[in-house]
Amino acid sequence: MLARSGPKLQTPAGILFSGKDLLPAVLGLWPDPPGRGSRSWVLQRNCPAQSHPSTSLPGQLVGTEDALLQQLADSMLKEDCASELRVHLAKSLPLPSNVNRPRIDLIVFVINLHSKYSLQHVQESLRHVDASFFLGRVCFLSTGAGQEHHCSIHRNTVLKLAHTYRSPLLFCDLEVEDFRATMAQRLVRMLLVCAGHVPGVSALSLLSLLRSSETPPPEEL
């Protein structure tokens, strides 16, 4: 059983945006703490009245592309799911300090291949993730590969990063709505597994399955 308590993740209390099925048009942003450029906010879909807190699905998206992260979270919240889905968004880790430490079941690091700044923030954020998350509750999501002539980050660079942290790497052009919707569905399913809502399948077994289907790291090609 993977421990879910005490991750080095924090999120401001009370910054929850609720809607019947979709996100509100305007998001409130938690102000940046002094001396730190990180900011975070939480997106939440209303859950049925009878839902118990243990049925919540809290996921964390980390990346510098605010618009893409919001669109991905939007698509995730549209997925048909009986549990209360919460998507925490942040430019980087650690998140702003607060007494509340919500349980996070899956962290998705989003890397834009068009931006070295995006990769740098992910690399710096990884230092703040508790080691237990790398047992199946972290994945990397690379976007922008469809426009290779605009890429400033080589595909092999993110392959090596994912291999170093023993975590799966997914590719998706998030700017394309159909691709984004398919990826959102996949992430929600991964989140269900990581939260322990799929009997007989653990986050660690899912990690094993995902990594066995991956492209080998460059040095092994």
pLDDT at 54: 54
First-to-last C-alpha distance (Å) of the chain = 34
Alpha helices in the chain (DSSP H): 66-77, 116-126, 155-164, 177-194, 203-212
Give 73-90 pLDDT, tens digit per residue. 999 999 988 888 999 999
* Six-digit token string for 17: 């945006």
CA dist 19 and 16 (Å) reads 10
CA dist 105 and 170 (Å) reads 18
Stretches where the chain sits below pLDDT 50 are 1-38, 46-53, 99, 218, 220-221
Please name every residue paired with 107 in a beta bridge, in sequence order, or none if there are none: 60, 138
